Amino acid sequence: MSDFLRLLLGLHAQARRYDRDQALLGALGVGAFAYTHQIDSVHRMATAPACRWLLADEVGLGKTIQVSTADQNQAGVAA
């Protein structure tokens, strides 16, 4: 195995460990990775007096994860 391939595999393994350690996994009811912009959006949705939000951003930034997490939060509040 070349040194370059070993380096790439090591970086990939390190990234996977980082992702694993940063996973919400169920802390908010969604098995996903939390990015700062997602946490901020969910916080604003959870603390707003009214439940009317439009999530509109670029493709792949986690709108589904944000909505799922906010939905889990609302279900917990309603219960």
Q: What pTM did the predictor assign? A: 0.51
Q: How high is the mean pLDDT of the chain?
A: 76
Task: Tell whether the model's pLDDT for residue 50 goes beyond 70.
Answer: yes
Q: How many CA atoms lie within 13 Å of 79's alpha carbon, on the beta-carbon side?
A: 6
Q: Looking at residues 34-61, what average pLDDT do you find?
A: 83
For residues 16 and 29, which has the higher predicted lDDT (pLDDT)? 16
End-to-end Cα, the chain, rounded Å: 55
Question: Residue 25: phi, psi to the nearest 5?
Answer: 50, 5
31-44 average pLDDT score? 78
Q: What are phi and psi of 14, to 5 degrees?
A: -65, -40
Tell me the average pLDDT across 37-62. 83
Structure tokens at 23: 């996973």
Tokens 């439940």 belong to residue: 51
Q: Count other C-beta atoms under 10 Å from residue 33's C-beta.
A: 15
| pLDDT for the residue 79 | 52
